[in-house]
């Protein structure tokens, strides 16, 4: 071999070495054995279409690969394929842009696909910032999209506001480009009334009670022994504070009461202080109406939807006590009032808890009629009688929930926001709609202002969680209510367990339903109420979006703002979503609505 041949061989070998090193060090090119995408069967698709991807080095079986359609939420698993092709269904959250195939050996980005959508199509976009641009087509001059930014981070404090910005553009210039403020009705809806503050306190103390004392002791009556006859005259301990400890006997009034109704499921007692002036108080007709409402309807309805409850005093009945102590808990002139309550402490026996606190009975406390404001606030007779029936339905659910969770589920008290939502569902199931309508109306005005998981459950949150649970019951059946009560879970975990779906996905679908239901846009049951007409519950706050003008606003976890965007026929609109205050894990629920 000549020197020239040796030199040539060395040069050739060097060239091979250089090529090998350049391929190995190339930060862009695929690694050896990484998937390679060479082509796709269609450049324009709809969610649900089958797309065939050609290439090399795909993993076997086909399900060992993943295909992402630009949107981080738009990921599909191939259902068929070999090392050279993959067949995949276009994910419902797919968006226009390049596809990416990934497996254990790496990933490769292939050609762009355009994802078109029909009216009623819904998806979730999870991308943020300039690197995750969403492109939405405008096939007609009337095309519109509903866009709902919402927070998903369960660790984000429920009272914190997180800023966002939506910028949009197409190739039609706008004369003036600026940033507009989003919804401006913030904070008024989160005001906590005295009733809601008291509910928050009693559920906080109920959870602390279980942690400190444990579950109540029970004494079972022999199975053949009849329940003792109800005494016609009895003394009770009645909590008289909205801020003090339920374990302090000094926070109770000790009152005497007469038995005014004996039923199959309840005993109605009236504080003797309510009786002297019969013209300004309930008469026997009102006591009987309340008792019969519980005996003939409320008790059976609640048991059928939520389950059975305890009987710690072995009398087969719930005690309903009407007393002005409840009236006096609301200061004169206050906005809102305490309508009545069930106190979990009453399921405990004296000895487990301080003497002078518990009545060791299934009991709840209701307002006395007071048209002359003798005890602080005016409560007309007919209004109060009707209010007491609705309160009975509400508080009885609390009694079922707490007693079942304590006696059968190991002592797990529910989170306040979900506990109150379930009690408002009890009102609904018992035909008591007016209060839910009023609360829902507050919520619908500005759903971005309040978290569905707001722990102190102000009126707006209650309106929202009621609407959420009503939709879930319409979709999955009312059996989910019993699943939530009869469980050891708390909060969003209960929702997930009962439905089998991710809580954040359910919240996104709920937000979309608030706009879509009843409009004839889609028949998808995820977005349509079947038990109520949402138009009766208020008007949803929606902001018009203008392409070219940036929109900025704030949301909380499990809350969302609503925008409707149009566009220019034949042009794609490009959206960039930005978290101005990171931490809420911003996502966007999007539906084509026209």
Model confidence pLDDT, tens digit, residues 75-86: 999 999 999 999
Domain-located, residue 191:
no
Domain-located, residue 434:
yes
Q: In the chain, what are the helix, strand and coil shares in percent, each to the nearest 5?
A: 35, 25, 45
Distance, in Å, from the CA atom of 506 to the CA atom of 549, rounded to the nearest integer, reads 30
Whether residues 307 and 375 share a domain: the answer is yes
Q: Which of 488, 522, 557 is where one domain is finished?
A: 488
Q: Which residues of 28-48 are buried (b: 16+ CB within 10 A; e: fewer)?
A: eebeeebbbbeebeeeebebe
C-alpha distances out from residue 549 to 37, 41, 130, 168, 336, Å: 38, 37, 16, 7, 41
Whether residues 109 and 126 share a domain: the answer is no
Closest CA to 455 of 161, 158, 166, 195: 158
Q: Are 121 and 591 in contact (CB under 8 A)?
A: yes
Whether residues 46 and 165 share a domain: the answer is no
> What does the angle CA 418 – CA 481 – CA 386 come to, to the nearest 5 degrees?
75
Q: What is the CATH number of the domain that holds 570?
A: 2.60.120
> What does the angle CA 317 – CA 322 – CA 326 come to, to the nearest 5 degrees?
125
Whether residues 351 and 433 share a domain: the answer is yes
Model confidence pLDDT, tens digit, residues 411-424: 889 999 999 999 99
Burial of 213 (0-12, 13-18, 19+ CB in 10 A): middle
Distance, in Å, from the CA atom of 93 to the CA atom of 74, rounded to the nearest integer, reads 4
pTM for the structure as a whole: 0.89
Whether residues 91 and 159 share a domain: the answer is no
Domain-located, residue 531:
no
Whether residues 288 and 311 share a domain: the answer is yes
Domain-located, residue 456:
yes
Q: Are 505 and 517 in contact (CB under 8 A)?
A: no
Q: What is the CATH number of the domain that holds 87?
A: 2.60.40.10
Closest CA to 69 of 131, 112, 29, 107: 112
Whether residues 294 and 150 share a domain: the answer is no
Model confidence pLDDT, tens digit, residues 267-306: 999 999 886 665 678 999 999 999 999 999 999 999 999 9
Q: Write the secondary structure of 168-215 as one string of H (helix), E (strand) and C (coil).
A: EECCCCCCCCCEEECCCCCCHHHCCCHHHHHHHHHHHHHHHHHHHHCC
Which structural domain range is residue 73 located in? Answer: 36-115
**What's the structural domain count of the chain?**
3
Distance, in Å, from the CA atom of 491 to the CA atom of 478, rounded to the nearest integer, reads 18
Q: Is the pLDDT reported for residue 313 higher than 50?
A: yes
Q: pLDDT category, 331, cuts 50, 70, 90? A: confident
Domain-located, residue 49:
yes
Domain-located, residue 534:
no
pLDDT for the residue numbered 5 = 38
Q: Which of 70, 92, 115 is where one domain is finished?
A: 115
Closest CA to 445 of 556, 366, 539, 528: 539
> What does the angle CA 584 – CA 586 – CA 588 come to, to the nearest 5 degrees?
150
Whether residues 385 and 242 share a domain: the answer is yes
- Mean pLDDT (the chain) is 90
Whether residues 445 and 559 share a domain: the answer is no
Whether residues 106 and 134 share a domain: the answer is no
Domain-located, residue 198:
no
Distance, in Å, from the CA atom of 319 to the CA atom of 231, rounded to the nearest integer, reads 12
Q: Which of 80, 115, 150 is where one domain is finished?
A: 115
Share of the chain above pLDDT 70, in %: 88
Domain-located, residue 175:
yes
Whether residues 127 and 268 share a domain: the answer is no
Whether residues 274 and 128 share a domain: the answer is no
Q: Indicate left, alpha or beta for 120 from its phi (over 0: left) and psi (-120 to 50: alpha).
A: left
Q: Is the pLDDT reported for residue 351 higher than 80?
A: yes
Q: Is the pLDDT reported for residue 186 higher than 60?
A: no
Model confidence pLDDT, tens digit, residues 142-182: 999 999 999 999 999 999 999 999 999 998 765 555 566 66
Collapsing DSSP to helix, strand or coil, 253 comes out as strand
List the structure tokens of 433.
Answer: 């709609």
Residue 205 CB contacts under 8 Å (≥ 6 apart), including other chains = 245, 246, 345
Measured between its terminal Cα atoms, the distance across the chain in Å is 78
Distance, in Å, from the CA atom of 480 to the CA atom of 236, rounded to the nearest integer, reads 36
């Amino acid at each position: 071999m000549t020197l020239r041949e040796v030199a040539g061989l060395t040069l050739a070998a060097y060239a091979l070495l250089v090529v090998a090193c350049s391929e190995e060090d190339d930060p862009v090119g695929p690694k050896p054995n990484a998937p390679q995408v060479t082509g796709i069967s269609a450049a324009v698709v709809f969610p649900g279409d089958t797309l065939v991807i050609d290439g090399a080095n795909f993993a076997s079986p086909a399900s060992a690969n993943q295909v992402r359609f630009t949107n981080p939420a738009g990921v599909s698993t191939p259902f068929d394929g070999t090392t050279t092709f993959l067949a995949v269904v276009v994910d419902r959250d797919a968006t226009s842009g390049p596809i990416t195939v990934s497996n254990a050996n790496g990933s490769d980005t292939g050609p762009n696909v355009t994802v078109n959508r029909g009216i009623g199509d819904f998806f979730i976009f999870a991308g943020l910032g300039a690197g995750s641009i969403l492109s939405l087509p405008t096939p007609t001059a009337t095309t519109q999209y509903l866009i709902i930014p919402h927070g998903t981070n369960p660790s984000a404090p429920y009272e914190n506001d997180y800023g966002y910005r939506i910028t949009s553009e197409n190739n039609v210039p706008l004369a003036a480009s600026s940033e507009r403020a989003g919804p401006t009705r913030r904070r008024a809806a989160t005001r906590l009334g005295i009733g809601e503050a008291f509910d928050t306190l009693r559920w906080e103390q109920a959870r602390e009670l279980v942690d400190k004392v444990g579950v109540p002791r029970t004494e079972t009556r022999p199975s053949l022994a009849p329940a003792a006859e109800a005494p016609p005259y009895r003394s009770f301990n009645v909590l008289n504070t909205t801020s003090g400890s339920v374990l302090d006997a000094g926070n109770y009034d000790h009152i005497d009461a007469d038995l005014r109704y004996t039923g199959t499921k309840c005993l109605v007692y009236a504080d003797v202080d309510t009786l002297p002036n019969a013209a300004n108080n309930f008469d026997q007709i009102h006591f009987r109406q309340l008792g019969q409402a519980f005996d003939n309807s409320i008790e059976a309805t609640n048991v059928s939807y939520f389950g059975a409850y305890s009987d710690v005093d072995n009398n087969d009945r719930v005690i309903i006590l009407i007393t002005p102590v409840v009236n006096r808990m609301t200061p004169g002139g206050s906005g809102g009032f305490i309508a009545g309550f069930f106190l979990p402490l009453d399921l405990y026996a004296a000895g487990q808890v301080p003497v002078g606190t518990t009545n060791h009975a299934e009991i709840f406390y209701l307002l006395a009629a007071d048209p002359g404001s003798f005890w602080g606030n005016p409560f007309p007779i007919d209004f109060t009688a009707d209010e007491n029936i609705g309160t009975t339905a509400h508080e009885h659910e609390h009694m079922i929930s707490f007693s079942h969770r304590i006696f059968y589920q190991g002592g797990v008290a529910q989170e306040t926001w979900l506990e109150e939502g379930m009690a408002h569902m009890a009102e609904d199931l018992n035909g008591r709609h007016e209060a839910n309508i009023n609360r829902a109306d507050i919520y619908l005005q500005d759903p971005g202002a309040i978290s569905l998981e707001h722990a102190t459950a102000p009126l707006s949150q209650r309106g929202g969680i009621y609407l959420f649970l009503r939709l879930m019951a319409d979709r999955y059946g009312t059996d989910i209510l019993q699943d939530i009560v009869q469980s050891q879970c708390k909060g969003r975990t209960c929702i997930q367990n009962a439905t089998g779906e991710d809580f954040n996905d359910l919240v996104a679908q709920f937000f979309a339903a608030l706009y879509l239901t009843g409009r004839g846009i889609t028949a998808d049951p995820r977005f349509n109420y079947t038990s109520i007409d949402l138009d009766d519950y208020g008007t949803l706050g929606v902001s018009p979006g203008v392409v070219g003008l940036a929109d900025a606003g704030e949301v909380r976890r499990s809350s969302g703002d609503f925008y409707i965007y149009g566009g220019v026929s034949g042009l794609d609109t490009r959206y960039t979503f930005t978290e101005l205050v990171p931490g809420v894990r911003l996502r966007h629920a999007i539906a084509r609505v026209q």
